[in-house]
């Protein structure tokens, strides 16, 4: 899961919160649809905590209780995404202090279950789980009736008596164990193309919160990819799929600390190695989506080269189909024409000189580059309107 990639301190946080929340929901005999919504909300409940410092705050229970702006950010990110309206409302209230809540909300039980699970996970230490679970339960029991909803106390204490519950929580099979509690038939959600696109937009907004020029960049790559796809005569279905790959190509940057993403000077070689891993993560995030294997390759191979000297997979010409080649050219074009923290955007002459060199070096496809420069006015226009739209949206 993309949200788990960052900051080793919070590794598995969402998985563990989801496991606990679903376990309690199961004991409360929630209906399968409710349990599924609980699982989805718990799995992304901290989506609004984007920056490394915000993620680290989540581990400090005292700071966390006073600072729930990440709930609002999470709510705003998801509230307009089809199928995520309820999930956004659950997230909005997942850190409500029980004794201070003035009114009831439609999903407050689910929010409160995530709150309990979140507190339990935030209390975990590196000690063996069976050596610390009584202490965790003591801390939790102190919070019922003040911070936490009191009518959940008995059911949680009952679950907490099982060693298997605690062992599951630390298990490498935790995903499977959580999914086993859900009704497989309730998984049937038909995402339309537009719904999928708005969900993917959420991820570009998250990356934007970490580093604002990346959002504009992802959109310029996307719009350039669409134009190149049409100029290359690809089918409209393929162009739509290419559009998604443009939006997602730098998704793996979610795993890179902002200190590197936002650095205004040149990167050290160690920092460059860290940033290079983004394409690897892009690949593994997308390839888990059913029927997205072509999009995963198009998106994640944008730093690969025809001569096989790119990164991170070092695949060559035979593995780089037209989709990969289009995204690679669009990415380089976008990076060169955009203003960056350390330099202004380059002019046509400078960009053309760069492409002549990399075509000669056998890095990118000459025909796609030809399409770009044969229609250069169009791409300059694409850059301008992408900038206007990005300023309006962000
Ligand atoms: Fe959390
Ligand atoms: Fe990239
Ligand atoms: Fe990029």
Full residue range of the structural domain in which residue 235 is found = 193-393
Which DSSP string corresponds to 335-346? HHHS-BTTBPPP
> What pLDDT was estimated at residue 26?
96
> What pLDDT was estimated at residue 280?
96
> What pLDDT was estimated at residue 89?
94
Same domain, 107 and 256: no
> What pLDDT was estimated at residue 35?
94
Closest CA to 215 of 389, 46, 2: 389
pLDDT digits (tens, 9 = 90+) for 4-63: 555 445 668 999 999 999 999 999 999 999 999 999 999 989 888 776 666 666 666 554
Number of domains composing the chain: 2
Determine the distance separating the centroid of ligand 2 and the alpha carbon of 317, expressed in angstroms: 19
pLDDT digits (tens, 9 = 90+) for 11-21: 689 999 999 99
Sign of CA dihedral 260, 265, 266, 270: negative
> What pLDDT was estimated at residue 11?
66
> What pLDDT was estimated at residue 310?
97
Domain limit, last residue, from 137, 153, 187: 187
Same domain, 108 and 11: yes
Give the closest ligand to the alpha carbon of residue 332.
3
Looking at 102-116, 207-221, 228-242, 247-261, which range is the least confident one?
Answer: 207-221
Determine the distance separating the centroid of ligand 2 and the alpha carbon of 336, expressed in angstroms: 13
Which DSSP string corresponds to 129-193? HHHHHHHHHHHHHHHBTTTB-GGGHHHHHHHHT-HHHHHHHT-TTHHHHHHTTS-GGGG-----H
Same domain, 112 and 207: no
Determine the distance separating the centroid of ligand 2 and the alpha carbon of 302, expressed in angstroms: 6
> What pLDDT was estimated at residue 241?
93
Q: How far apart are CA 41 and CA 122, in angstroms?
A: 17
Same domain, 236 and 91: no
- Tokens for 389, please give them: 């739209």
- Tokens for 197, please give them: 């696109």
Domain limit, last residue, from 137, 154, 187: 187
What is the pLDDT averaged over residues 296-322?
97
What is the pLDDT averaged over residues 137-144?
94
Same domain, 236 and 151: no
- Report the CATH number that the domain containing residue 200 is assigned in CATH: 1.10.3210.10
Same domain, 39 and 127: yes
Give the closest ligand to the alpha carbon of residue 335.
3
> What pLDDT was estimated at residue 203?
80
Domain limit, last residue, from 138, 157, 187: 187
> What pLDDT was estimated at residue 370?
98
pTM over 0.85: no
Ligand 1 (ion): which residues have CB within 5 A? 46, 118
10 Å Cβ neighbour count for 134?
Answer: 9
pLDDT value at 65 more than 90 = no
Determine the distance separating the centroid of ligand 1 and the alpha carbon of 287, expressed in angstroms: 26
Same domain, 176 and 275: no
Same domain, 158 and 271: no
pLDDT value at 208 more than 80 = no
Give the closest ligand to the alpha carbon of residue 71.
1
Q: What is the DSSP letter of 312?
A: S
Same domain, 141 and 200: no
pLDDT value at 1 more than 60 = no
> What pLDDT was estimated at residue 394?
55
Ligand 2 (ion): which residues have CB within 5 A? 250
Determine the distance separating the centroid of ligand 1 and the alpha carbon of 2, expressed in angstroms: 15
Q: What is the mean pLDDT of the chain?
A: 88
Same domain, 275 and 235: yes
Whole-angstrom CA distances from 134 to 120, 148, 200, 221 are 11, 18, 41, 52
Same domain, 47 and 115: yes
Same domain, 236 and 100: no
Determine the distance separating the centroid of ligand 1 and the alpha carbon of 212, expressed in angstroms: 24
């Amino acid at each position: 899961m993309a949200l788990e990639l960052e900051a080793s301190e919070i590794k598995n946080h969402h998985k563990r919160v989801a496991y606990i929340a679903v376990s309690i929901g199961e004991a409360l005999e929630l209906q399968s649809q409710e349990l599924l919504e609980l699982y989805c909300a718990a799995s992304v409940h901290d989506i609004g905590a984007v920056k490394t410092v915000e993620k680290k705050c989540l581990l400090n229970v005292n700071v966390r209780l006073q600072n729930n702006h990440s709930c609002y950010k999470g709510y705003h990110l998801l509230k307009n995404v089809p199928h995520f309206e309820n999930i956004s409302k659950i997230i909005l209230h997942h850190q409500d202090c029980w004794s201070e809540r003035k009114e009831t909300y439609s999903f407050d039980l689910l929010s409160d279950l995530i709150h309990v699970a979140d507190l339990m996970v935030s209390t975990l230490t590196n000690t063996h789980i069976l050596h610390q679970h009584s202490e965790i339960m003591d801390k939790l029991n102190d919070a019922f009736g003040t911070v936490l909803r009191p009518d959940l106390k008995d059911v949680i204490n009952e679950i907490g008596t099982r060693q298997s519950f605690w062992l599951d929580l630390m298990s490498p099979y935790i995903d499977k164990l959580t999914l086993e509690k859900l009704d497989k038939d309730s998984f049937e959600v038909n995402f339309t193309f537009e719904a999928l696109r708005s969900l993917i937009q959420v991820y570009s907004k998250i990356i934007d919160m970490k580093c604002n020029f990346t959002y504009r960049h992802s959109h310029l790559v996307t719009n350039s990819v669409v134009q190149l796809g049409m100029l290359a005569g690809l089918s409209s279905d393929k162009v739509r799929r290419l559009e998604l790959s443009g939006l997602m190509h730098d998704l793996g940057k979610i795993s890179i600390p902002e200190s590197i993403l936002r650095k205004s000077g040149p990167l050290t070689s160690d920092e460059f190695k860290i940033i290079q891993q983004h394409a690897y993560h892009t690949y593994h995030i997308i390839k888990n989506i059913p029927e997205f294997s072509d999009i995963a390759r198009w998106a994640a191979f944008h730093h690969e080269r025809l001569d096989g000297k790119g990164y991170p997979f070092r695949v060559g010409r035979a593995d780089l189909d037209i989709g990969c080649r289009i995204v690679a050219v669009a990415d380089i074009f976008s990076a060169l024409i955009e203003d960056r923290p350390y330099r202004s955007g380059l002019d046509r002459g400078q960009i053309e000189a760069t492409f002549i060199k990399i075509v000669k070096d056998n890095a990118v496809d000459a025909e796609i580059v030809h399409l770009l420069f044969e229609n250069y006015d169009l791409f300059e226009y694409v850059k301008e309107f992408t900038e206007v739209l990005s300023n309006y949206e962000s």
